Structure 1
Amino acid sequence: MTFRQFAFRNVSRNTRLYTAYFLSSMFTVMVFFTFSIFAYHPVLSGGQIHSSAALALSVSKWVIYVFSFFFVLYSMSAFLQSRKREFGLMMMHGMTVRQLRRMIFLENMIVGSGATVSGIGLGVIFAKGILLAGENVLALNKPLQFYFPFKAMGVTLISFLLLFVLISLFISTVLRSGKLITLIQANRQPKPEPKASLLLSLLVVLLLGVSYFLSLRASGLAVVLLLAPVVIMVSVGTYLLFTQLSVYLIRKLKAREGLFWHKTNMLLFSDLSYRMKDNARSFFLVAIISTVSFSAIGALYGFQSMINGTLTQKNPYLFTYLSADGDSKAQAHVQLIDQSLAQAGIAAEPLSLKINYYKAADSSQTLALVKQSDYNRIAGLMGLTPIRLATGDGTAAIVDFGLSRKGEELLHQQVKLQSGMDIEAEQAVVSSAIRAVSGYYVVPDERIGTLGQPFKVSRYYAWHGAAGQHGVQQVGELLTSKLPYDEHATFYALEYQTSRTNDYFGPVMFIGFFVGIVFFVSAGSFLYFRLYSDLDEDKQKFKAISKLGLSDKELGRILNRQISLLFFAPIVVALVHGAVALTALSHMFQYSIFRESLLVLGLFFFIQVIYFFIVRLFYTRQIRSALTG
């Protein structure tokens, strides 16, 4: 048997440990290859359409590549820890440190090469479906025909083979026999009782509590300003949560004799604090990576929903046209819009009103005023609640879109105009009746004439009709190219602008989803590595305990709790972090993304549950096979 055959058989004998590493690496290679397929596609790379999308896809694949470097490095470290006894036996039988390094290098290259080739192969097999899905997600008008991605294959193959070579060289170079022997001896020595500081445990509550409070209370720009300090506090608090607070709570639970001696709790609690301490760094890493995944995908999905919802909320009309002073072609432009709608057979009802602008006495602000009858006429056509004002001088209603708190801020605040008259909003209304301006005043008709001459008057035109009519988007695109968008006149086509926004946001969603999934899969692999690194110890422990009368049902209950804590402790922490982060995001934009957040977090939790059942099944089989063997 040659040395290469020996290394290959080592890989085949450690299938259970290498499986998650192989599959995760293969998935990462496949995602990198997928991005390369798009980045090098003739339609995208040729600059025909969406050159920015091709650039974003190209940059994203290198982000995944850099992350893959650290993922592989961590994975190899986990392998060394789990196989320390095996390496020790090989050295005892005459294997030199140089041969050990060579063996590790060959094993990693075997797995890495297999994962790279398999990832590329799967990418080629599903390339047609991937291109079809990407064509829809990226909202491309031109189809992405299938092509054989030679360049993408070459870049992916060279990049990941180089990555695995560098990691293998690094691992085999830093490996030292002295450290290896120390690890082997340490496996036979009793571990010291894990200790936790009460002060540091209380610091966890303080850091996470303050972070959550600031995140949930902040709104607008304050969310951005608090981002850096909150991220630091959450990161430190999460690390101390697993290294200090969890160990402290477990020791307190062990001190309660009624709980500790109840059924099989003694077996669970006896080494739970050791496991929490040993796995603290892995839990911290998984919690942070998962939080990034949840927050990124949830934010992207929520942001897309917010953009579409905001556009519709701001502008419920098919077309709007705002004509300010100095627009001499307003009537011609309005006539062009009417003619275009008629020629396309689009049913829409034209609306119009005047918006009067007044200066405050101190010239610190400009007030937009609309007649009550004009507002109520449009509100009636839109099916909105009309505004009813009490009689009296200065009474008014302040109206905004609901995307800011301008209405609430100006409520019951008396404003003196340059004419000497006063305006005070007695009610704040959230309405999409008029898109031209947010935070405008609706005043009784008879009041307009008593406020003096406005310094500026705008004419607001809108065409209200059913969304989704055939030809609306095409007419909107044509009119957008012909009509002005400047300080004198502004034309806006809702469906066309929404389509353009989705065109640019599609690549971001596509990239963010895949990057987030890569991070989440890697986080699950970290947990798999940690669980199987303790498999040999668990086999010996439960084999000894089974001789004392441990039943199969009790064994299953202990393993179920043990694996549940490992898999769900960091994920639950990440879900809480992600929920707070997404709530803060909704506060920043004054737009609720509760439904989107719930969907994303629920989906990830469901995937984790499935992953848990699969891993538990195979892990329990390994333990039971050791007991019956």
Structure 2
Amino acid sequence: MTFRQFTVNNVIRNKRLYVAYFLSSLFTVMVFFTFAIFAFHPAFMDGSIRGEVLYGMSIAGGIIYIFSFFFVLYSMSSFLQSRKKEFGLLMMQGMSTKQVRLMVFMENMLIGFFSTLGGILLGLVFAKAILLFAENMLVIDETLNFYFPLWAIIITFVSFIVLFLFISLFVSFILRTRKLIDLIKADKQSKGEPKSSVILAIIAAILLAAGYATALYVEGQGVLLAMLPVIIIVIIGTYLLFTQLSVYVIRQLKGNKRFFWRKTNMVLFSDLSFRMKDNARTFFMVAIISTVAFSAIGSLYGLQSFLTKEVKEMNPYTFTYSNYESDDSLIQEHTRTVEETLNKYDIQTETASEELNYFEVENSGRPEVLISKESEYNRFAALLGEERVDVGKNEAVVVGDSSTVMIGAEQKERLMDVPIVLENGERVHPSRLISTVVMPEMFSYYIVADETFDALPDPVETKTHITWQATQGSEEAIIEAGGVLQNQFSPGTFSAIDYSIYTINKSFGPVLFIGLFIGIVFFVSAGSFLYFRLYSDLDQDKMKFKSIAKMGLTEKELKKVINRQTALLFFAPIVVALLHGAVALTALSNLFDYNLVTESALVLGLFAFIQIIYFIIVRHFYTKQIRSAIY
């Protein structure tokens, strides 16, 4: 058997460890290849969306490539740590240090070559499905037809072969073999009782509590000012949480005899402090990477939801025309243009028009304030299916503006303290505050009875306002007609809400798509880190549970201990990441004064579900390996 054959067989024999490394690398290559397929797609190269998407794709590809380097490097270090005894046995048989390095180099290049090739082939298999998914998510007009991505294949293959070559050379160069006796007994040497500092454990708790409290307390622009300090505090606190606080808590639990001696707790906690200490850096890295994935995707999704909802709330009508001009012939011409376009696209609507009158109101904080007749307001309310308003003769109703962000709550309520002065000098005081989206007004305004309105002085400004609420017509036709009309009129004159939302989604589509893929890469890599750490201790776990089984541990108890142990090690960093992500998205809600509970729950719940499925699969094979060594 040649040395080359020996290296290939060595990879096959260690397939349990290499399979996660291989599949994760394969997935990373596939994602990078997917971005390359988009970047060189003819629709992007020749179409109008080239500039919108290619820049983001390039940045995303660079991020994935850089992250892949550190991921592969970390994976290799995990393999080398778990194979110390194997290196010792090989050196005992006469293998030199140079040959050990050459073996590691050849192994990594073998895995790198096939994972690169497999990632490209898998990307080609699912290319059409991914293109269809992207076509809908990116909200583009061009069709992303399948094509043979020659340049994408070349760039992906060359990029990752170079990456694996560089890492293989780097790892084999820095590889150091210790004394032979240390390598042979690597899995039997005592690590000593893990130590933790009480002071550092307390500092960890204080830092995390302070970071969370600050992020949840600050609002508005204060979120941006507090962001960097909070991030630094939470990162330091997370590191101390896994290296100090977790070990301290476990030692305290072990010191509680009633708890430690209960059922199988002794088996569970006997080496848990060792594992927490050994895996502290891995847990820290997984927690931070997962937090970045949660926060990035949640922020992008939340920002898109926020913008689309704000646009819809500020103007709930399908089509809106506003004009400050007093030229009736011009307004009639514009109205005919709208009606003809709607007929062309077979869109039926209900129409309402009104003269919006703005008055000078002292102490209102604005040059003019809209005051609407009760009858006019109720006519528009009926168009939207909103509740009617009944206003007494000597009262006024203040309506909070439809925007929840652009104008603060204190400005919404300000008009409640400002009375309306009639032409005869009488004052009408506001009696209540309501919040609706009936009138197309960005700021707060008044509703008064018709008789009261007639007693007002002359308005300082009047605006003609016409709305069309679609009752029949396809969504595509409404969007297309809105785009045609909105481009015909000067900015601010005509608004097509569905077309506006379409343009927002079109702008956010590439960003969301890129963020989603990067987040998935980070999250899968984080899960792979946990897989590596769990399986690197598998041989020791087999010996430990085999010895305990001889002392009377039943199969049911064994399964219980393994489930708890793997769950603690698997979900400890993920739970921390979910908490970090929830706090980060809550801070984002405070920044925009917008409730992101639904978006946050959807993003965090999806990732938690994926992690649970991943855990169930890993636990199944891990338990199977332990049981095969005992029974």
Deviates more, 1:1-10 or 1:528-537: 1-10
Moved more, 206-215 or 463-472: 463-472
- Whether the 8 Å CA contact 2:39–2:57 is kept in 1: the answer is yes
Alignment partner for residue 555 of structure 2, among 552, 557, 567?
Answer: 552
What does residue 258 of structure 2 align with? 258
Look up the SS of the partner of 2:348 in the other structure.
coil
Partner of 2:400: 399
Structure 2 equivalent of residue 377 of structure 1 = 379
Q: Does 1:490 align with 2:493?
A: yes
Tell whether 2:481 aligns with 1:479.
no
What is the identity, as a one-letter code, of the residue corresponding to 2:266?
M
CA deviations on 1:346-380 (whole Å, 9 max, x unpaired) are 22122222333345657953342222322222113
1:275 maps to amino acid:
R
* Range with bigger deviation, 103-112 or 351-360: 351-360
Aligned twin of 1:213: 213
Preserved contact between residue 139 and residue 506 of structure 1 (Cα < 8 Å): yes
- Which segments of structure 1 move beyond 6 Å, counting only runs of 4 or more? 416-423
Match of 2:247 in 1: 247
In the other structure, the counterpart of 1:461 is 466
Checking the alignment, whether the CA contact within 8 Å between 2:363 and 2:418 is kept in structure 1 is no
User: In structure 1, the residue corresponding to 2:192 is in which secondary structure?
Assistant: coil
Greater displacement, 549-558 / 589-598: 589-598
Q: Which amino acid aligns with 1:340?
A: T
- Per the TM alignment, residue 450 of structure 1 is displaced from its structure 2 partner at its CA by 5.5
Deviation at 1:453, TM superposition (A): 4.2
Letter in 1 for 2:333: A
Cα distance between partner residues in 1 of 2:371 and 2:419: 17
Deviation at 1:481, TM superposition (A): 1.9
CA distance in 2, matches of 1:19, 1:113: 14
Mean Cα deviation higher: 446-455 or 525-534: 446-455
What residue in structure 1 maps to residue 87 of structure 2? 87
- Whole-angstrom distance in 2 between the partners of 1:403 and 1:185: 65
Is 1:610 matched with 2:613?
yes
Q: CA deviation at 1:67?
A: 0.7
What are the within-5 Å matches in structure 2 for residues 293-308 of structure 1? 293-308=293-308
Query: Equivalent residue for 2:508?
Result: 505
Q: C-alpha distance in 2, partners of 1:525/1:491? A: 52
Counterpart of 2:564 (choices 515, 538, 561) is 561
**Aligned position for 1:592:** 595
The correspondence of residues 157-236 of structure 1 with structure 2, limited to 5 A, is 157-178=157-178, 187-236=187-236
Matches of 2:162 and 2:61 in 1, distance apart? 15
Q: Matched residues in 2 for 1:212 and 1:511: separation?
A: 28
Amino acid across the alignment from 2:112 = G
- Whole-angstrom distance in 2 between the partners of 1:206 and 1:467: 59
Q: What residue is the counterpart of 2:534 in the other structure?
A: 531
Q: Matched residue pairs, number?
A: 624
Moved more, 420-429 or 185-194: 420-429
For 1:149-160, what aligned pairs fall within 5 Å after superposition?
149-160=149-160
CA contact (8 A) 2:131 2:146 kept: yes
The equivalent residue for 2:518 is 515
CA distance in 2, matches of 1:424, 1:220: 31
- Give the 3-state SS of the residue equivalent to 2:493 in structure 1: strand
Structure 2 unaligned regions, length at least 5: none
Whether the 8 Å CA contact 1:398–1:425 is kept in 2: the answer is no
- Is 1:401–1:432's contact at 8 Å kept on the other side of the alignment? yes
- Please state whether the residue corresponding to 2:147 is helix, strand or coil: coil
Q: Which residue of 2 aligns with 1:131?
A: 131
For 1:227-276, what per-residue CA distance to the aligned partner results, in whole angstroms no more than 9, with x for missing partners? 21221222122112111221121111111111111122111111111111
Q: Classify the secondary structure of the residue corresponding to 2:471.
A: coil
Q: Which letter maps to 1:114? A: F
Counterpart CA distance in 2 for 1:284 and 1:421 is 68
> 1:508-532 deviations in whole A, cap 9, x for unaligned?
2221111111111000000001011
Secondary structure of the equivalent of 1:401?
A: coil
Does 1:578 pair with 2:581?
Answer: yes
Matched-pair contact (CA < 8 Å) for 2:359–2:371: no
Cα deviation for residue 207 of structure 1 reads 2.2
CA pair 330-198 structure 1, distance change in 2 beyond 3 A = farther
Q: Deviations over 1:288-310 (max 9, x none)?
A: 11112222222333333333333
* CA distance, structure 2, for counterparts of residue 216 and residue 387 of structure 1: 37
Equivalent-residue separation in structure 2 for 1:572 and 1:184 (angstroms): 37
- Tell me how large the CA RMSD over aligned residues is: 2.5
Identity rate of aligned residues, in percent? 51
User: Shift of the alpha carbon at 1:582?
Assistant: 2.0
Tell me what 1:435 maps to: 440
Q: Equivalences for 1:408-419 in 2 at 5 Å?
A: 408-411=410-413, 414-415=417-418
TM-score (norm 1): 0.93
Q: Structure 1 stretches of 5 or more lacking a match?
A: none
Q: Give 1:355's aligned residue.
A: 356
Do 1:407 and 1:439's aligned partners in 2 also have CA atoms closer than 8 Å? no
Name the structure 2 match of 1:387.
389
The Cα shift of 1:467 comes to 6.9
Q: Distance in 1 between matches of 2:167 and 2:442?
A: 58
The one-letter code sitting in structure 2 at the alignment partner of 1:529 is F
Q: Is contact 1:325–1:456 with CA below 8 Å preserved after alignment? A: no
- The Cα of 1:327 is off from its aligned counterpart by 7.0
Report deviation, 1:38: 0.9
Q: Which amino acid aligns with 1:250?
A: I
